[in-house]
């Protein structure tokens, strides 16, 4: 019985190849124009920059001391890697952190060589990868401003920068590295056929503020910018609508965040393995001879209030960081609590990002306070 | 032996699906009565699709017992029946009497069968990706906080969910039936345009047919079916619907949903003579009994009215099905009747909203054509140009307007 079933199915399988299935193939080929449209659109618009190596060119412009305006999203990790691999500068001050540290610019530290190596939604592994890349390229830096997001020591870590994750994993977990690279190449090969990517391409095309062949350009005017600009010091000049966001707009973003992410945050907690990883990074930074400074980026007052009352993990993280700083003789500036350093609701454009001007003023005060 | 087999199967579903529900309710009850009970909250990971393959196993056991089918002595074939992959996660609950004979038949390449399967699958993908998942964006947003919304938005969300669940589940069924067909297996129809039903009874003969006929054949008829006293029959109907509700999920919302449907059926049955007399009275008054044209027009209007009423009753019941809790369902219903045009878009752009409405209109149009032409599928137009035009519209709609980030199929939860 078993064999006959196998035989029947095998015959069925073989018959597909022996049959005259040209008719079916021909009919399926009638849909080729649709697939061609998807492939061509995905390749040309390529909203996630999978098929076009723009990052190297952007890093090149930054190295030439130019500021770059971006009409679309881009792969931050790749720009950073390209920048680090091609610079030999000796830095007085560097910044490591997430997008919350991006507005920290050289203007707050006049006379110092400076670069901001922050990436959006930076995970601990991203920061470790950046530090290791700096070391591998023998780049020198005297002071590291380490912007501490609480999530660095939480169990859940966002995996947003495939290139940085690859750098991190290649030394630690070959299996995960191979898996992550396989996924990367799988995406490379198959996103071209993806309907979801096609829709992203269409959205990107209609959202794009500029012609298709001009996805990035050298920014001349830094004060009236409709686009986000990466300054040549690695910091970010937010687009005008962010810097001009009203108190009400920031409030709405804060309320949205509270509704969306703070629900169930009591389950978030500090993770022992992450704490260990963080302490290793701090140790490594100290061993490189740098003066490490912990900086706590503030939260929007409404969000901090909610965190303080409903989500102990935030305060736990700050307490842990302060304890680590004390043990390692590290100087600390800032607080998650905006009131402690006099931040107002109007200093934010969303639930936790400072506008450029308040960030600048805060860093000037920090520079004076810590004698940088 | 029959009892042992059925108990073993239903025991699995009881443990994995309902142990948590029972323990939570026991805790609540003991708290209310101020007595202690030793069982803590039970949390078990529910095997996906358990409700479907356990029902397949039970139907097989009973069919063997009733000598409708020979016992299957080959474990592999039996396992194939229970875990046939297109139907594993969310049905249809295929009967062994129709499935098992197909396993041993000789398969060969059949162009017509494969293209028919592909067409059914394409239509299923269209319903799921273009209609159900797009409507889900609106529905999920409104159902998340019904207490803070009033009026038309809630009414619209209830209607949208009525369409969403149909497209989600019948879309899945079409994909399952289509892929089984490509592999050479004919599956049973699971939906026959249920929202064109004129009564709730008819609705249940068109909605989730594999489940409703399962309950009819393996529960309702053994309980006595229609051959018992009226009171007993009403009890049987209510019991079947409450259990059918509970089958969908371990939550009181599903039990109430089943109960509401049971109540609709009982009410419909109890008032049938009155409604028939009322209809005859109206027909007499307007002279429909003597004039064929008036009768035809009156019949059409009555049919349309019955369809609208049945659709609205189903939509009302779906509120309990979708709501996370009875409190949320109560908030939803309470606020739905507060007349407030308010922000009907609930944050969606005009474009998003238009897409939702257009996708529903396309569904209604194609279902309407099917309902009246009685053809099995909208893709069976005779003219090549029409047929290929429709294929292209469907595929391009999926490419341009499909929602690919949305969650899994609703019935995967059961």
- Condensed to tens digits (0 to 9), the pLDDT of residues A215-235 reads 677 777 777 778 889 999 999
B111 phi, psi to nearest 5 deg: -55, -45
Instruction: Give the integer Cα–Cα distance in Å for B49 and B11.
Output: 15
Share of chain A above pLDDT 90, in %: 48
Cβ neighbours of A16 in B, within 8 Å:
109
Helix (H) or strand (E) holding B256: helix B252-270
CB A24 within 8 A of CB B119: no
Instruction: Give the integer Cα–Cα distance in Å for B289 and B280.
Output: 9
Residue of chain B nearest A201, judged by CA positions: B400
Question: How many angstroms separate the most distant Cα atoms in chain B?
Answer: 73
Give the residue carrying structure tokens 């910044």.
Answer: A95
Mean pLDDT of A349-357: 93
Q: Which residue has the higher pLDDT, A3 or B249?
A: B249
Mean pLDDT of A246-268: 79
pLDDT of residue A266: 58
Bridge partners (DSSP) of residue A93 are: A114, A143
Instruction: Give the integer Cα–Cα distance in Å for A81 and A166.
Output: 12
Among candidate residues A162, A159, A168, A164, the one with its CA nearest the CA of residue A181: A162
Q: Does B389 touch chain A (CB under 8 A)?
A: no
Disruptive mutation site among B109, B389, B391 for chain A (greatest number of A CBs within 10 Å): B109
Residue A262 scores a pLDDT above 90: no
Q: Enter the tokens of residue B354.
A: 């238009």
pLDDT of residue A10: 46
Q: Which of B74, B107, B398 sits opposite A195 (nearest CB)?
A: B398
3-state SS string for B46-90: CCCCHHHHHHHHHHHHHHHHCCCCCCCCCHHHHHHHHHCHHHHCC
Measured from the Cβ of residue B312, the count of other Cβ atoms closer than 10 Å reads 13
Q: What is the pTM of this model?
A: 0.73
Q: Enter the tokens of residue B80.
A: 């194939």
CB A236 within 8 A of CB A230: yes
Question: Which residues fall within 8 angstroms of residue A287, CB to CB, at 6 or more apart?
Answer: none
Among candidate residues B237, B280, B278, the one with its CA nearest the CA of residue B261: B237
Helix (H) or strand (E) holding B146: none
Q: Where are the domains of chain B?
A: 2-103, 111-271+305-413
Helix axes B350-373, B133-144, angle to 10 degrees: 120
pLDDT of residue B408: 60
Instruction: Give the integer Cα–Cα distance in Å for B277 and A45.
Output: 67
Distance from CA of B183 to the nearest CA of A (A): 9
Q: Residue A349's pLDDT band (boundaries 50, 70, 90)? A: very high
Residue A211 scores a pLDDT above 60: no
Question: Which residues fall within 8 angstroms of residue A110, CB to CB, at 6 or more apart?
Answer: none
pLDDT of residue B255: 92
- B248 noted as active-site residue: yes
Q: Is there a contact between A16 and B392 if contact means CB atoms under 8 Å apart?
A: no
Instruction: Give the integer Cα–Cα distance in Å for B212 and A268.
Output: 44
Bridge partners (DSSP) of residue A141 are: A91
Predicted ipTM of the assembly:
0.75
Helix axes B292-322, B326-336, angle to 10 degrees: 140
Beta strands in A211-265 (DSSP E): 216-218, 229-230, 236-237
pLDDT of residue B238: 92
Q: What share of chain B is helix, strand, coil (3-state, %, to 5)?
A: 70, 0, 30
Residue A27 scores a pLDDT above 80: yes
**Residue tagged active-site, from B248, B261, B269, B372:** B248
Q: Residue A5's pLDDT band (boundaries 50, 70, 90)? A: very low
Q: Residue A208's pLDDT band (boundaries 50, 70, 90)? A: low
- Condensed to tens digits (0 to 9), the pLDDT of residues A102-151 reads 999 999 999 999 999 999 888 998 999 999 999 999 988 999 999 999 98
Q: Enter the tokens of residue A269.
A: 């907690």
Q: Enter the tokens of residue B302.
A: 């009555």
- Condensed to tens digits (0 to 9), the pLDDT of residues A267-301 reads 578 889 899 999 999 999 999 889 999 999 999 99
Cβ neighbours of A192 in B, within 8 Å:
none
Disruptive mutation site among B145, B399, B400, B406 for chain A (greatest number of A CBs within 10 Å): B399
CB A146 within 8 A of CB A97: yes
Length of chain A: 372
What is the pairing mode between strands A114-116 and A90-96?
Answer: parallel
Q: Which residue has the higher pLDDT, B409 or A195?
A: A195
Distance from CA of A15 to the nearest CA of B (A): 6
Among candidate residues A117, A98, A97, the one with its CA nearest the CA of residue A106: A117
Q: Residue A26's pLDDT band (boundaries 50, 70, 90)? A: confident
Give the residue carrying structure tokens 């032409």.
Answer: B373
Residue numbers of B between 93 and 132 with CB closer than 8 Å to A: 103-109, 111, 114-115
Q: Does B402 touch chain A (CB under 8 A)?
A: yes
B27 phi, psi to nearest 5 deg: -60, -45
Share of chain B above pLDDT 90, in %: 22
Measured from the Cβ of residue A349, the count of other Cβ atoms closer than 10 Å reads 22
Instruction: Give the integer Cα–Cα distance in Å for B114 and A178.
Output: 38
Residue of chain A nearest B106, judged by CA positions: A8
Q: Enter the tokens of residue A122.
A: 């930076």
Give the residue carrying structure tokens 């609508």.
Answer: A241
Mean pLDDT of A19-24: 73
Q: Enter the tokens of residue B251.
A: 């939550």
Spans in chain B with pLDDT lower than 50: none
């Amino acid at each position: 019985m078993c064999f006959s079933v196998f035989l029947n199915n095998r015959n069925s399988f073989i018959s597909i190849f022996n049959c005259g299935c040209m008719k079916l193939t021909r009919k399926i080929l009638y849909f080729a124009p649709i697939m061609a449209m998807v492939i061509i659109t995905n390749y040309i618009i390529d909203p996630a920059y999978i098929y076009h190596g723009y990052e190297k060119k952007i890093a090149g412009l930054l190295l030439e001391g130019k500021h770059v305006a971006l009409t679309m999203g881009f792969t931050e990790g790749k720009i950073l890697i390209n920048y680090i691999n091609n610079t030999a500068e000796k830095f007085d001050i560097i910044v490591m952190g997430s997008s919350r540290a991006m507005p920290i610019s050289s203007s707050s530290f006049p006379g110092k060589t400076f670069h901001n190596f922050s990436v959006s939604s930076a995970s601990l592994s991203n920061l470790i990868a950046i530090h290791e890349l700096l070391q591998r390229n023998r780049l020198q830096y005297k002071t590291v401003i380490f912007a501490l997001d609480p999530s660095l020591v939480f169990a859940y870590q966002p995996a947003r920068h495939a290139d940085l994750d690859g750098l991190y994993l290649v030394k630690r977990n070959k299996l995960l590295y191979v898996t992550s690279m396989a996924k990367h190449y799988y995406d490379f090969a198959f996103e071209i056929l993806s309907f979801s990517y096609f829709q992203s391409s269409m959205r990107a095309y209609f959202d794009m503020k500029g012609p298709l062949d001009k996805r990035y350009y050298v920014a001349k005017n830094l004060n009236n910018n409709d686009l986000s600009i990466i300054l040549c010091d690695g910091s970010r000049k937010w687009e005008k609508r962010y810097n001009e966001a009203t108190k009400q707009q920031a409030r709405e973003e804060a309320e949205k965040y509270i509704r969306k992410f703070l629900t169930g945050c009591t389950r978030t907690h500090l993770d022992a393995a992450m704490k260990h990883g963080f302490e290793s990074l701090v140790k490594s930074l100290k061993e490189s001879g740098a003066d490490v400074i912990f900086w706590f980026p503030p939260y929007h007052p409404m969000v901090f209030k909610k965190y303080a009352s409903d989500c102990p993990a935030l305060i736990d993280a700050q307490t842990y960081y302060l304890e680590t700083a004390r043990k390692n003789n590290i100087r600390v500036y800032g607080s998650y609590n905006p009131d402690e350093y006099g931040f107002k609701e109007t200093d934010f454009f969303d639930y936790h990002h400072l506008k450029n001007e308040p960030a600048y003023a805060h860093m000037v005060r920090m520079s004076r306070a810590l004698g940088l | 032996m029959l009892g042992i087999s059925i108990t073993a199967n239903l025991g699995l579903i009881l443990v994995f699906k309902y142990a948590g529900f029972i323990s939570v309710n026991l805790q609540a009850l003991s708290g209310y009565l101020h007595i202690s009970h030793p069982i803590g909250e039970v949390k078990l990971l529910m095997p996906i699709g358990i409700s479907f393959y356990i029902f397949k196993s039970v139907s097989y056991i009973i069919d063997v017992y009733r000598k409708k089918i020979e016992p299957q002595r080959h474990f592999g074939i039996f396992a194939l029946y229970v875990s046939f992959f297109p139907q594993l996660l969310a049905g249809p609950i295929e009967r062994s009497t129709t499935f098992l004979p197909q396993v041993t038949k000789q398969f060969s390449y059949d162009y017509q069968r494969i293209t028919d399967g592909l067409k059914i699958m394409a239509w299923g993908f269209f319903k799921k990706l273009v209609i159900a998942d797009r409507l889900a964006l609106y529905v999920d947003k409104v159902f998340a906080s019904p207490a803070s919304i009033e009026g038309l938005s809630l009414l619209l969300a209830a209607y949208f969910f009525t369409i969403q669940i149909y497209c989600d589940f019948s879309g899945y069924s079409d994909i399952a039936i289509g892929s089984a067909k490509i592999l050479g297996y004919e599956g049973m129809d699971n939906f026959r345009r249920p929202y064109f039903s004129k009564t709730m009874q008819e609705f249940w003969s068109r909605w989730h047919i594999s489940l409703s006929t399962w309950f009819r054949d393996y529960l309702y008829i053994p309980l006595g079916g229609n051959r018992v006293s009226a009171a007993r029959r009403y009890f049987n109907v209510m019991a079947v619907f409450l259990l059918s509700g509970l089958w969908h999920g371990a939550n009181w919302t599903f039990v109430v949903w089943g109960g509401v449907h049971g109540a609709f059926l009982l009410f419909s049955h109890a008032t049938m003579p009155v409604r028939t007399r009322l209809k005859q009275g109206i027909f007499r008054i307007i002279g429909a009994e003597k004039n064929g044209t008036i009768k035809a027009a009156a019949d059409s209007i009555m049919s349309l009215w019955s369809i609208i009423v049945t659709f609205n009753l189903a939509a009302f019941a779906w509120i309990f099905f979708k709501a996370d809790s009875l409190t949320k369902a109560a908030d939803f219903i309470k606020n739905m009747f507060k007349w407030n045009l308010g922000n009907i878009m609930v944050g969606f752009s005009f474009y998003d909203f238009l897409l939702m409405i257009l996708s529903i209109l396309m569904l209604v149009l194609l279902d309407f054509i099917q309902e009246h032409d009685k053809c099995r599928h909208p893709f069976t137009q005779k003219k090549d140009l029409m047929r290929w035009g429709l294929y292209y519209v469907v595929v391009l709609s999926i490419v341009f307007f499909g929602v690919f980030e949305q969650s899994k199929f609703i019935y995967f939860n059961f």
